[in-house]
Structure 1
Amino acid sequence: MTALVYVIEDDDDVARLVVHALHEFGFLTETFRSGAAVLRRLQTERPELFIVDLGLPDMDGMALVREIGAMGNSGVLILTGRGHTVDRVMGLELGGDDYMVKPFEPRELVARVRSILRRRTAPGAGCGAPQRRYASFLGWTLDCAANVLRAADGAEHLLGTAETQVLRVFVERPHQILTREQLVGSRDLSPLDRSIDVRISRLRRKLEPDPQHPTLIKTVYGAGYLFAAAVSWS
């Protein structure tokens, strides 16, 4: 099935460039000039992926990324003129799967869209078969269908799509050293890309008694990370 992409961009020239590139490679698109417009549309249909500009006329794009992440499990590519590291980190922390700065190369944008969609549909991206919806470890339970992490006391944490993807890979492959590329789902990850570090840090803050001295998500220096817990499924 052809993927549907929502393009949220108030600059008509940029929106046309994005849409043209996506159509050239077979994607379906809908374009929105404001956050309110796309939120109204989401009441009736959700896409496979959002491309979100942070400089919207009616709301901050970061707030929109947060709302999108809370509403379901679609991919999010942030496309913005904000190139500061703090914006990039915040965007990824709030649920963005990737972050691109304008001006951009249309074919690179399409490649990143494809990469996000591949990661989300790859084997294990859905936490196994439908009967394996819940992954349990050390008193925690991950609801793979709802992106919800439940503590032993019943407290619930709604995870962003990027965090969920990393945790899904961990629970599918416990006690294995996983590279940054395996966790992000990209073979061409730049050595300077710190998105995986952001996601690991957020997961540690939720799961570890002492995030500064992790015992569950361990760093294997020079190799990657290891999830040190037995996992059961239901």
Structure 2
Amino acid sequence: MTSPLVTILDDEPEIRRILTSTLEDAGFRTQSFARAREFEAALNRMTPDVCLVDLSLPDTDGLALVHRLALEQGAAVIIISGRAQVQDRVTGLELGADDYITKPFDPAEVVARVRARLRSGPRLAAPASDTARFSGWTAHFDRYVLEDDAGSETPFSHAEGEVLRLFLDSPKRLISRAQMQEALGGAAGESFDRAMDVRVSRLRTKLREDPKNPRLIKTIYGAGYIFLGDVDWG
């Protein structure tokens, strides 16, 4: 079985060296890049399992790249950045990142976060179909788009897709934050809760929900979420 491929995009040679060494010692394959242009060109000939992306890149805006990766590639993206402000974290998650690690970091933590992302994939891929219909919408998980009855399409990110698939797999059942953490991976705590809140909020917007009275994704305060639509896979 081929080892998972992790790509590293960071303009600091020492960061690339540390991450490459640590991840390969942990059994991963790696490809590292100093420039976004080189990295994006390489995506035409490879499909990484996880992308580690620095935000402070010399040839492009890191946040814009994260957004393109999440929407166009459907890639799992972990931001590694020296930007430690809460707003940077929130923006990164809103643009489609799956996780956010601040510099300086413990290399062992990066390995743990990568493994968490990889563990989440198979659990969310149980349905044989990549298409689900519900409440006037069709979710195409192979193309990462939501399609309404009129045929208008709205893209969603890999991270949003994980949450949506979790809801569609268990309609009309309470999903606690603990269950979300177990299914999606990542460390429990305020950071994870905030990431889930951001992703649910983005999904509600794309499903044209009334934020004050959503009809599909209901928040059960102190308990979790419940998806109220009927779901047809296939």
Offset from partner CA, 1:26-85 (integer Å, 9 cap, x none): 000011001111011111112111000000000011111111113222211100000111
Aligned to 1:215: 215
Report the identity percentage: 40
Aligned to 1:128: 127
Aligned to 2:66: 65
Matching of residues 48-197 of structure 1 within 5 Å: 48-122=49-123, 125-126=124-125, 128-129=127-128, 132-184=129-181, 185-186=184-185, 188-193=187-192, 194-197=194-197
Alpha-carbon deviation of 1:126? Answer: 2.5
Distance in 2 between residues matched to 1:191 and 1:41, nearest whole Å: 35
* Conservation of the 8 A alpha-carbon contact between 2:209 and 2:216: no
TM-score, normalised to structure 2, is 0.94
Matching of residues 32-43 of structure 1 within 5 Å: 32-43=33-44
* Conservation of the 8 A alpha-carbon contact between 2:54 and 2:80: yes
Stretches of structure 1 that go unaligned for 5 or more consecutive residues are: none
* Conservation of the 8 A alpha-carbon contact between 1:208 and 1:215: no
* Conservation of the 8 A alpha-carbon contact between 1:127 and 1:144: no
State the superposition RMSD in angstroms: 1.4
Alpha-carbon deviation of 1:191? Answer: 3.4
* Conservation of the 8 A alpha-carbon contact between 1:176 and 1:227: yes
* Conservation of the 8 A alpha-carbon contact between 2:173 and 2:227: yes
Distance in 2 between residues matched to 1:187 and 1:177, nearest whole Å: 20
* Conservation of the 8 A alpha-carbon contact between 1:174 and 1:230: yes
TM-score, normalised to structure 1, is 0.94
Distance in 1 between residues matched to 2:45 and 2:79, nearest whole Å: 23
Aligned to 1:19: 20
* Conservation of the 8 A alpha-carbon contact between 1:127 and 1:133: no
Stretches of structure 2 that go unaligned for 5 or more consecutive residues are: none
